[in-house]
């Protein structure tokens, strides 16, 4: 069997390098991808430090990683859209093809979703493998081919970018919208990028760290920024050219931000909740009702969202990096080799000034 070097979370604060047997093609539409680039997500760090997210509790070792790109190394006999050597972005969650959610086009809500590096909720169940390994198996239709001018590093940003795409579609962001994004982590910055690409004419990014706000301006995803430490919600609106936003993309999961959203949204506005909340929050329901606001809960991504993200990157870089409207690459602030992956996790865990950390695949 071909060895498959992998990064494994054994328990809280215990990550090791292991080698397993590489996956093999068993179905006609199987594709084996040699993983080249993987980003570290906040959920990875949460499993590392807490061993659980909600009902998903780590009970046995699990290969980490779900934000990945790679190169096709083998294809099943039924594969028609990909060939060996193609660069691809990996969509890491595969639903049950028999579920009502899958059949109705809402497969991200499938209760039987097998999602990379997410513990199996059943006692004794086998954890789905993550993508921080040399070889990863995926169905053909959960891989998206990358254009020549979209690098493998950018391919590793497709997963978090698609979180923003799904949210923007849910909230029907369109030309002329004024959008406020709470939270300038990777998801927030990418959500702001999506709002811009979907036609929002004004985008404000809100965060308590000035360095993140500076990055939002520098990479081209924000026309305005605001640090809530500097003033009230009235000051925020004043800083937004006295504009009440039509849409808020809430990416922090923080109760004060959720309350601020309801306060600043114009009558009839849309609140899109992307960030998970660590605990139940109180909600200003009376104001929400009397302003006739609409609340969208946005979870992962669904049909055609990955392709939309790749199309955004394609359009952005088609005429060269020097002509790109948004500098997505500058979101990648730290890069590590595979044998340095534990150091990478400890760096992100430590809360250092890291936006997106990318780990290269095994040599």
pLDDT digits (tens, 9 = 90+) for 274-313: 999 989 999 999 999 999 999 999 999 999 999 999 999 9
Q: Helix %, strand %, coil % for the chain, to 5?
A: 30, 25, 40
Task: Give the whole-angstrom CA distance, residue 362 versus residue 336.
Answer: 11
Query: Per the structure block, which two tokens stand in for 94?
Result: 């595969």
Q: Pairing relation of β-strands 178-182 and 247-250? A: parallel
Q: Are strands 270-273 and 247-250 parallel, antiparallel or unpaired?
A: parallel
DSSP string, 242-266: T---SEEEE-S--HHHHHHHHHHSP
The distance from CA 234 to its chain's CA centroid, rounded to whole angstroms, is 31
Answer whether residue 352 shows pLDDT above 90. no
Out of 128-137, 252-261, 329-338, 346-355, least confident range: 346-355
Question: What does the pLDDT read at residue 278?
Answer: 86
Is residue 348 classed exposed, middle or buried when 0-12, 13-18 and 19+ CB atoms within 10 A define those classes?
Answer: buried
The pair of three-digit structure tokens given for residue 225, joined into one six-digit string: 């920024």
pLDDT tens, residue by residue, 227-236:
999 999 999 9
Q: What is the pLDDT at residue 342?
A: 98
Task: For residue range 73-124, list pLDDT tens digits in order.
Answer: 999 999 999 999 999 999 999 999 999 999 999 999 999 999 999 997 765 5
> What domains does the chain contain, in order, with CATH numbers?
3-149+318-360 (3.90.180.10), 163-297 (3.40.50.720)
Region 10-37: mean pLDDT is 98
- DSSP run (H or E) holding 56: strand 56-57
With contact defined as beta carbons under 8 Å apart, do 47 and 58 qualify?
yes
- Residue closest to 150 by CA, chosen among 318, 348, 362: 318
Average pLDDT over residues 269-277: 97
* Cβ(274)–Cβ(170) below 8 Å: no
The pLDDT of residue 69 is 99
Assess whether pLDDT exceeds 70 at residue 255.
yes
Q: What angle do CA 253, 46, 58 make, to 5 degrees?
A: 125
Nearest 5°: phi and psi at 114?
A: -105, 105
Among 63, 42, 345, smallest CA distance to 190 is for: 42
* pLDDT > 90? residue 225: yes
Q: Find the range with the poorest average confidence among 41-45, 67-71, 177-181, 268-272.
A: 41-45
Long-range pairs for 269-272 at CB < 8 Å and ≥24 separation?
269/244, 269/245, 269/293, 269/294, 270/171, 270/172, 270/246, 270/294, 270/296, 271/247, 271/295, 271/296, 272/167, 272/168, 272/170, 272/171, 272/247, 272/248, 272/296, 272/298
pLDDT for 121: 72
Residue 209, token pair as written in the block: 């760290």
Confirm if 77 and 83 have CB atoms less than 8 A apart. no
- CA-nearest of 151, 149, 88, 205 to 320 is 149
Q: Where are the alpha helices (DSSP H) in the chain?
A: 42-50, 100-103, 152-156, 158-170, 186-197, 210-218, 233-239, 255-264, 285-290, 305-317, 341-349
């Amino acid at each position: 069997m071909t060895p498959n070097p992998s990064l494994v979370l054994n328990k809280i604060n215990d990550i090791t390098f292991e080698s397993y047997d590489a996956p093999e093609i068993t179905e006609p539409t199987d594709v084996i991808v040699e993983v080249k680039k993987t980003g570290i997500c906040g959920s990875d760090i949460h499993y590392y430090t807490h061993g659980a997210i909600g009902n998903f509790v780590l009970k046995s070792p699990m290969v980490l990683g779900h934000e990945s790109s790679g190169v096709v190394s083998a294809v099943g006999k039924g594969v028609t859209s990909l060939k060996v050597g193609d660069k691809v972005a990996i969509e890491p969650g595969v639903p049950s093809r028999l579920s009502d959610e899958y059949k109705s086009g809402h497969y991200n809500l499938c209760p039987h979703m097998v999602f990379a590096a997410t513990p199996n909720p059943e006692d004794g169940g086998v954890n789905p493998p993550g993508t921080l390994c040399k070889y990863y198996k995926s169905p053909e239709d959960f891989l998206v081919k990358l254009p020549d001018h979209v690098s493998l590093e950018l391919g590793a940003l497709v997963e978090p970018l698609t979180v923003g795409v799904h949210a923007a579609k849910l909230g029907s962001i369109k030309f002329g919208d004024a959008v406020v994004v709470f939270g300038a982590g990777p998801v927030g910055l990418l959500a702001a990028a999506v709002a811009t690409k979907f036609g929002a004419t004004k985008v404000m990014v809100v965060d308590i760290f000035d360095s993140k706000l500076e990055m939002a301006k520098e990479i081209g995803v924000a026309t305005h920024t605001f640090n809530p430490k500097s003033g009230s919600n009235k000051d925020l609106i004043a800083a937004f050219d006295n504009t009440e936003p039509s849409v808020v993309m809430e990416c922090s999961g923080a109760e004060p931000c959720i309350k601020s959203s309801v306060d600043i949204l114009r009558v009839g506005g849309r609140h899109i909740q992307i960030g998970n909340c660590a605990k139940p929050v109180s909600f200003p329901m009376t104001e929400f009702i009397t302003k006739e606001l609409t609340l969208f809960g946005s979870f992962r991504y669904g049909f055609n969202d990955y392709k939309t993200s790749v199309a955004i990157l394609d359009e952005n870089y088609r005429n060269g990096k020097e002509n790109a409207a948004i500098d997505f690459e500058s979101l990648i602030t730290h890069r590590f080799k595979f044998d340095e992956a534990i150091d990478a996790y400890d760096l992100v865990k430590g809360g250092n000034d890291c936006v997106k950390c990318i780990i290269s695949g095994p040599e």
